[in-house]
Amino acid sequence: MKLSIAIADTHALPSAFVVYRGFEECIPKAAALGFDGVELALKEAGEINERRLHELLDENGLLVSCISTGQVYADTGLMFTHPDASKREEVKKIFRGLIDLAQDFGKMINIGRVRGSIGDRDKEEVECIFVEVARELCTYALKKDVTLILEPVNRYEIDFINSVEEGVELMKKIDMPNMKLMPDVFHMNIEDRTIGPELSKNIEYIRYIHMADSNRLAPGEGHLDFGEVFYHLLKSGYDGWVSAEILPRPDPDEAARQTADFLLPLIRKYNNDIKTVAGRNGNGTLAQHFGLTNK
């Protein structure tokens, strides 16, 4: 398991939901705290100076974990399920550019609110459009070894694909090998019956996980049971990225530090033990594994 943190460049919209702003200043800071990678929040591929980003990542020994696309929606209002087909062509073009970029940076692109909402339309009609667009982009991305990761987002932000269960239904309908899920435990805390068991049950679809506490502060600053989350991930053998997508409070540096202080020791333990304990279901000693839970 590797740990990442959400970052945008200095010119990103105020609404970009990231901890850090500014690649030059913050990539070295993330490395110094012990993060393995950065999650890039972009609105289009042209924002990136690829050569300089490569240099910065190499100098600091960091990877790009994935490219996130909330700003595509926030900046342009474009969405996969836009009723106007010409607008759907525009969003597909932006995504093809991001897929090309992701070949070199992380090989994963998220689909969050850019999927669009149902509003007063028929749910099945919206779903059909979504499946068609997602399949087309997956077909393009497959040739480039890039995976699209769909993020269930809670009902207070969007009315389409709120829970992991709904995300899994869509995975089955899209039926492409490079279409996977990106659960966010903050949204799961609102929408799903459980967090750890739900992740474990659907692990075959899960390629990436957003971490934030119940109040969207750094893990450890709210009341989510991360011991339970890590326990179930360990049992199911999850070995992918987890990424801190939290409010930059009390300030970005402190939020990043709190995240590293809380998650890095857990992840060290996790990586030590995953080889020996993965797959051993129902072992009572695992329940206390992380010293945070007795569930």
- At closest approach, how far in Å is the CB of 182 from Mn ion? 7
Q: Which residue is nearest to Mn ion (CB)?
A: 184
At which residue do the structure tokens 């970005």 appear? 252
At which residue do the structure tokens 């190499």 appear? 58
Nearer to ligand LER, 29 or 210 (CB): 210
- Which class for 203: exposed (0-12), middle (13-18), buried (19 or more C-beta within 10 A)? middle
Contact pattern from residue 216 through residue 255 relative to Mn ion, giving x for each residue in contact according to CB under 5 A and a dash for the rest: -----------------------------x----------
Selected from 82, 210, 232, 289, the binder of Mn ion by CB under 5 A is 210
Selected from 48, 101, 111, 112, the binder of ligand LER by CB under 6 A is 112
Q: What is the Cα–Cα distance from 92 to 133, expressed in whole angstroms?
A: 8
Inter-residue contact 244 to 7 (CB < 8 Å)? no
Among residues 126, 139, 92, the alpha carbon closest in space to that of 111 is found at: 92
Measured distance between the N- and C-terminal CA atoms of the chain, rounded to whole angstroms:
22
Q: What is the Cα–Cα distance from 293 to 226, expressed in whole angstroms?
A: 8
Q: Which stretch binds ligand LER (CB under 6 A): 98-106, 149-157, 220-228, 230-238?
A: 149-157
- Which class for 211: exposed (0-12), middle (13-18), buried (19 or more C-beta within 10 A)? buried
Q: How many CB atoms lie within 10 A of CB 55?
A: 12
Nearer to ligand LER, 17 or 80 (CB): 17
Q: What is the Cα–Cα distance from 76 to 94, expressed in whole angstroms?
A: 11
- At closest approach, how far in Å is the CB of 38 from ligand LER? 14
Inter-residue contact 247 to 10 (CB < 8 Å)? no
Q: Looking at this protein, which amino acid is placed at residue 125?
A: E
- At closest approach, how far in Å is the CB of 215 from ligand LER? 13
Beta-bridged to residue 40, according to DSSP, are 7, 67
Nearer to ligand LER, 178 or 189 (CB): 189
Nearer to Mn ion, 88 or 259 (CB): 259
Q: What, of ligand LER, Mn ion, none, does residue 70 touch, CB below 5 to 8 Å by kind? A: ligand LER
Q: Which stretch binds ligand LER (CB under 6 A): 96-104, 116-124, 151-159, 170-178?
A: 151-159
- At closest approach, how far in Å is the CB of 122 from Mn ion? 27
Please give the residues from 5 up to 44 whose contact with ligand LER meets the rule CB under 6 A. Answer: 17
- CA 292 vs CA 191, 210, 220, 272: distances in Å: 23, 19, 11, 17
Would you count residue 151 as binding ligand LER (CB under 6 A)?
Answer: yes
- At closest approach, how far in Å is the CB of 110 from ligand LER? 7
Please give the residues from 128 up to 167 whose contact with Mn ion meets the rule CB under 5 A. Answer: none
Inter-residue contact 36 to 42 (CB < 8 Å)? no
Q: Which stretch binds Mn ion (CB under 5 A): 71-79, 100-108, 206-214, 236-244?
A: 206-214
Q: Where are the beta strands (DSSP E) in 50-177?
A: 63-68, 108-111, 147-150
Please give the residues from 231 up to 250 whose contact with ligand LER meets the rule CB under 6 A. Answer: 245
Binding positions for ligand LER, rule: CB under 6 A: 17, 68, 70, 112-113, 151, 153, 157, 184, 210, 245
Binding positions for Mn ion, rule: CB under 5 A: 184, 210, 245
